[in-house]
Amino acid sequence: MPIQLNEENGGKILVVHVSGKLVKADYEHFVPEFERLVRQHGKLRVLFDMTSFHGWEAGALWEDTKFAIKYFADIELLAVVGEKKWQQGMATFCKPFTKATIRYFDHTDIAGARKWLDESVATGNRIGGRHMLKHQLLLPEGILILEPDAPLEAADFEGLVREIDPFIAEHGKLSGLMIHAKAFPGWANLEAFLAHMQFIKSHHQKIVRLAMVTDSKLLGELPKIAAHLVHVQVKHFSESQHEDALRWLKEGTPVSP
């Protein structure tokens, strides 16, 4: 069958293997079975193996869209396993539309995907000491340095607010914000995406300068977009210009004493 379901770890983990090209009829079995498992176990941790998957027929794509809209809230963790760039891209694309934590694994590391899900069961969904967004507030300049290297989570922004809001309350603004990243890691889930948007909305007028330090072509274009959306001086620097970026931020309008 193009869609095969297997329960593991006492039904706490659902393994979904998809192969070939899906048609509308494939969902007639899959959806009722998924509903049964949700009724029986509550929110599911899912390993979605796309290694031999080649896409959807038109009718099946619509069924898949309806399934995602209706049932994404019933997925707690989603490990996507694949072998193609578009499969990895699909995992990233889904993140803002669900509260599930999503991670992509190459098909050669399917054991790693199982281990990640198994650990989440054993630790009650605290994935072994949650990764935090690397950040540093330089004093007395009032320059915040961010180094995102893993999918962002809502707690990352809660931590940033606790770190910088007392400084802003005393000085009015941050002199600068440096975002140093090799690539944008995306968001862990919808909650993280909304927290990020709220952080930008509430803080963009409290930052004088923004330096984007990256060799990523995609991130390198963000300053051009941001310049039209936020009231901040924005500039792009390459990785080799890290010190130039820091110097430019320090030259920004000083915060009030």
Query: Of 122, 151, 171, which one is at a domain's C-terminal end?
Result: 122
Query: Of 122, 157, 189, which one is at a domain's C-terminal end?
Result: 122
Q: Read off the pTM.
A: 0.51
Mean per-residue pLDDT over the chain, rounded:
83
Whether residue 24 is contained in a domain is answered as yes
DSSP 254: P
Percent of the chain topping pLDDT 70: 88
Q: What does the pLDDT look like over 168-203, one tens digit per residue?
A: 999 999 999 999 998 888 888 888 888 898 998 899
Residues 139, 246: one domain? Answer: yes
Query: Of 92, 122, 152, which one is at a domain's C-terminal end?
Result: 122
Total count of residues recorded for the chain: 257
Determine the structural domain holding residue 84 and report its residue range: 3-122
Whether residue 21 is contained in a domain is answered as yes
DSSP per-residue codes, 177-192: EEEE-SS---BSSHHH
